């Protein structure tokens, strides 16, 4: 995946020079910063200084960093997991889901469009690999009291899922939101007498 340039969102932000950033794959050298920002950003939810390294140790989890002027400004963490769709009758459907596990922007660099662009990058990557990775959706959980996050996701095309998705260690209820991706093609049924042309 090529790095994507972060385009200016408003005249004010452009004047501030805040949005000339590149989104790139995180490396091992980014991990101390990433865990530090995550621990600060999600402190009210629980101890992410343990949770983030555990996620990032998994082969199916990747992290992406927004760089500006050689400085790290924000990140996403995305995992690919086996889907949990169960067909009404028959075996589980062979589909996977992409899970946006974390999104955070350094407090001093928030409200300049970086969060939306990082989210757009995650959506773009999931969409691009939906068919080959058999991804049904990009999903996430956000705290019920995080109205800025919920608004960002809603205005980026995510829909809230009705249901009980548990609670964070900090006590907030988890709100599940999903961005539907192209459905994975199902194997064609063998039809007696079917012809092709």
Provide the binding-site residues for ligand COA, judged by CB under 6 A: 41, 102-105, 110-116, 142, 146, 148-149, 151-152
Residue 130 to residues 4, 138, 184, Cα–Cα distance (Å): 19, 9, 7
For ligand COA, the nearest residue by Cβ is 115
Closest contact distance (angstroms) between CB of 112 and ligand COA is 5
Distance CA 24, CA 3 (A): 5
Return the number of the residue (134 or 142) whose C-beta is nearest ligand COA. Answer: 142
Return the number of the residue (45 or 135) whose C-beta is nearest ligand COA. Answer: 45
Return the number of the residue (30 or 95) whose C-beta is nearest ligand COA. Answer: 30
Residue-level length of the chain: 197
Residue 155 to residues 24, 52, 124, 159, 167, Cα–Cα distance (Å): 24, 26, 15, 9, 24
Closest contact distance (angstroms) between CB of 175 and ligand COA is 10
Return the number of the residue (117 or 136) whose C-beta is nearest ligand COA. Answer: 117
Q: SS3 for 121? A: helix
Q: Which two tokens stand for residue 110?
A: 């928030």
């Amino acid at each position: 995946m090529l790095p994507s340039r972060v385009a200016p969102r408003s005249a004010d932000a452009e004047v501030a020079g805040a949005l000339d950033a590149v989104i790139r794959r995180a490396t091992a050298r980014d991990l101390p910063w990433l865990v530090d920002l995550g621990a600060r950003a999600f402190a009210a939810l629980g101890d992410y200084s343990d949770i983030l390294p555990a996620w990032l140790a998994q082969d199916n989890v990747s992290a992406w960093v927004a760089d500006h002027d050689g400085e790290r400004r924000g990140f996403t963490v995305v995992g690919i997991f086996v889907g949990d769709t169960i067909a009404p009758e028959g075996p589980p459907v062979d589909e996977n889901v992409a899970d946006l596990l974390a999104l955070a922007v350094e407090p001093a660099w928030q409200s300049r469009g970086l969060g939306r662009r990082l989210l757009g990058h995650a959506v773009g990557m999931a969409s691009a690999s939906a068919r080959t990775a058999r991804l049904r959706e990009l999903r996430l959980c956000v705290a019920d009291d995080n109205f800025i996050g919920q608004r960002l996701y809603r205005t980026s095309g995510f829909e809230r899922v009705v249901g009980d998705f548990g609670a964070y260690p900090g006590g907030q209820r988890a709100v599940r939101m999903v961005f539907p991706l192209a459905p994975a093609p199902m194997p064609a049924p063998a039809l007696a007498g079917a012809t092709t042309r």
